Amino acid sequence: MFGPATDRGSLVISGASGIVGAGKTMQLGSRLTPFGVRIAALDFPGAQDGIGRQYPGLVQAFGPEGAARIMGNVVRLTYDGKRLPEELGALDPRFLLEAVPEILEVKKAHYALFRAAFPGIEIRSVTSGFPSSALGVGIAHPAFPHGINKVW
Protein backbone atom coordinates (compact mmCIF):
# COMPACT_ATOMS: atom_id res chain seq x y z
CA MET A 1 0.00 0.00 0.00
CA PHE A 2 2.73 2.51 0.89
CA GLY A 3 5.08 1.39 -1.86
CA PRO A 4 8.57 -0.10 -1.95
CA ALA A 5 11.27 1.17 0.41
CA THR A 6 12.73 3.31 -2.38
CA ASP A 7 9.39 5.03 -3.03
CA ARG A 8 7.41 5.11 0.23
CA GLY A 9 4.20 7.06 0.43
CA SER A 10 2.69 8.42 3.62
CA LEU A 11 -0.30 7.91 5.87
CA VAL A 12 -2.47 10.98 6.49
CA ILE A 13 -4.50 11.11 9.68
CA SER A 14 -6.99 13.95 9.47
CA GLY A 15 -8.51 15.21 12.67
CA ALA A 16 -5.16 14.24 14.18
CA SER A 17 -5.40 16.66 17.09
CA GLY A 18 -8.62 15.18 18.48
CA ILE A 19 -8.79 12.29 20.93
CA VAL A 20 -9.28 9.58 18.32
CA GLY A 21 -6.98 11.12 15.71
CA ALA A 22 -4.17 11.72 18.20
CA GLY A 23 -4.42 8.17 19.48
CA LYS A 24 -4.28 6.81 15.93
CA THR A 25 -1.31 9.08 15.16
CA MET A 26 0.63 7.59 18.08
CA GLN A 27 -0.52 4.01 17.48
CA LEU A 28 0.09 3.91 13.74
CA GLY A 29 3.17 6.12 13.98
CA SER A 30 4.76 3.59 16.32
CA ARG A 31 3.96 0.75 13.91
CA LEU A 32 4.86 2.42 10.61
CA THR A 33 7.97 4.43 11.55
CA PRO A 34 10.25 1.35 11.38
CA PHE A 35 9.11 0.86 7.78
CA GLY A 36 9.83 4.43 6.70
CA VAL A 37 6.18 5.43 6.30
CA ARG A 38 5.78 9.11 7.22
CA ILE A 39 2.70 10.16 9.17
CA ALA A 40 1.02 13.42 8.16
CA ALA A 41 -1.06 14.61 11.11
CA LEU A 42 -3.60 17.04 9.64
CA ASP A 43 -6.14 19.19 11.45
CA PHE A 44 -7.88 22.54 11.40
CA PRO A 45 -6.02 25.62 12.74
CA GLY A 46 -6.66 26.12 16.44
CA ALA A 47 -7.63 22.49 17.04
CA GLN A 48 -6.80 21.19 20.49
CA ASP A 49 -3.36 19.60 20.95
CA GLY A 50 -4.36 16.00 21.46
CA ILE A 51 -1.00 14.80 20.14
CA GLY A 52 0.83 16.73 22.86
CA ARG A 53 -1.48 15.26 25.50
CA GLN A 54 -0.81 11.73 24.22
CA TYR A 55 2.97 12.15 24.15
CA PRO A 56 3.63 11.09 27.78
CA GLY A 57 1.95 7.76 27.01
CA LEU A 58 4.22 7.32 24.00
CA VAL A 59 7.26 7.98 26.21
CA GLN A 60 5.98 5.49 28.77
CA ALA A 61 5.50 2.82 26.09
CA PHE A 62 8.65 3.38 24.00
CA GLY A 63 11.02 5.37 26.22
CA PRO A 64 12.21 8.91 25.52
CA GLU A 65 14.39 7.96 22.53
CA GLY A 66 11.74 5.75 20.95
CA ALA A 67 9.04 8.39 21.42
CA ALA A 68 11.30 11.05 19.91
CA ARG A 69 12.01 8.79 16.92
CA ILE A 70 8.29 8.16 16.36
CA MET A 71 7.38 11.84 16.68
CA GLY A 72 10.28 12.75 14.40
CA ASN A 73 8.43 10.82 11.70
CA VAL A 74 5.16 12.74 12.25
CA VAL A 75 4.63 15.90 10.20
CA ARG A 76 1.96 18.15 11.72
CA LEU A 77 0.01 20.25 9.20
CA THR A 78 -3.08 22.44 9.30
CA TYR A 79 -5.61 23.25 6.60
CA ASP A 80 -8.69 25.40 6.24
CA GLY A 81 -11.10 22.72 5.03
CA LYS A 82 -11.01 24.10 1.49
CA ARG A 83 -7.40 23.63 0.34
CA LEU A 84 -4.89 20.98 1.32
CA PRO A 85 -1.47 22.26 2.40
CA GLU A 86 1.10 22.30 -0.41
CA GLU A 87 3.59 20.44 1.80
CA LEU A 88 1.32 17.41 1.75
CA GLY A 89 2.15 16.69 -1.89
CA ALA A 90 5.82 16.09 -1.07
CA LEU A 91 4.77 13.36 1.38
CA ASP A 92 3.03 11.38 -1.39
CA PRO A 93 -0.10 10.37 0.58
CA ARG A 94 -1.27 6.83 -0.14
CA PHE A 95 -3.79 6.32 2.68
CA LEU A 96 -6.12 8.73 4.50
CA LEU A 97 -7.52 7.79 7.90
CA GLU A 98 -10.22 10.37 8.57
CA ALA A 99 -11.24 11.39 12.10
CA VAL A 100 -12.75 14.83 11.43
CA PRO A 101 -15.91 16.04 13.21
CA GLU A 102 -19.09 14.00 12.80
CA ILE A 103 -20.66 16.28 10.20
CA LEU A 104 -21.48 14.39 7.01
CA GLU A 105 -20.97 17.37 4.67
CA VAL A 106 -17.55 18.10 6.22
CA LYS A 107 -16.47 14.49 5.79
CA LYS A 108 -17.65 14.27 2.18
CA ALA A 109 -15.97 17.57 1.25
CA HIS A 110 -12.80 16.31 2.92
CA TYR A 111 -12.80 13.13 0.84
CA ALA A 112 -13.43 15.12 -2.34
CA LEU A 113 -10.38 17.31 -1.64
CA PHE A 114 -8.17 14.27 -1.18
CA ARG A 115 -9.53 12.40 -4.20
CA ALA A 116 -8.98 15.45 -6.42
CA ALA A 117 -5.41 15.97 -5.19
CA PHE A 118 -4.40 12.30 -4.85
CA PRO A 119 -6.62 10.19 -7.17
CA GLY A 120 -5.30 6.79 -6.08
CA ILE A 121 -5.49 7.39 -2.32
CA GLU A 122 -7.21 4.82 -0.09
CA ILE A 123 -9.64 6.43 2.35
CA ARG A 124 -11.12 5.05 5.55
CA SER A 125 -13.08 6.72 8.34
CA VAL A 126 -13.11 6.10 12.07
CA THR A 127 -16.67 7.41 12.29
CA SER A 128 -19.12 6.03 14.77
CA GLY A 129 -22.01 8.06 13.45
CA PHE A 130 -22.41 7.16 9.78
CA PRO A 131 -22.57 3.93 7.78
CA SER A 132 -20.04 3.47 5.00
CA SER A 133 -22.89 3.73 2.48
CA ALA A 134 -23.52 7.35 3.57
CA LEU A 135 -19.83 8.25 3.54
CA GLY A 136 -18.76 6.51 0.35
CA VAL A 137 -15.66 5.12 2.09
CA GLY A 138 -14.91 2.14 4.29
CA ILE A 139 -15.00 2.32 8.07
CA ALA A 140 -11.75 1.44 9.79
CA HIS A 141 -13.01 1.31 13.38
CA PRO A 142 -16.79 1.66 13.69
CA ALA A 143 -17.07 1.09 17.44
CA PHE A 144 -15.78 4.33 19.01
CA PRO A 145 -18.33 5.53 21.57
CA HIS A 146 -19.69 9.01 21.02
CA GLY A 147 -18.31 10.08 24.38
CA ILE A 148 -14.84 10.35 22.82
CA ASN A 149 -15.73 11.08 19.21
CA LYS A 150 -16.10 14.64 17.89
CA VAL A 151 -19.87 14.83 17.62
CA TRP A 152 -20.99 18.40 16.88
For residue range 98-116, list pLDDT tens digits in order. 999 888 999 999 999 999 9
Q: Which residues pair with 146 in a beta bridge?
A: none
Please tell me the CATH code under which domain 5-139 is placed: 3.40.50.720
Does the reported pTM lie above 0.95?
Answer: no
Structural domain spans, the chain = 5-139
How far is CA 64 from each of CA 14, 55, 69, 89, rounded to the nearest angstrom?
26, 10, 9, 30
C-alpha–C-alpha distance, residues 24 and 17, integer Å:
10
- Label residue 141 by pLDDT band (50, 70, 90): low
Per-residue pLDDT at 101: 87
In angstroms, the first-to-last Cα distance of the chain is 33
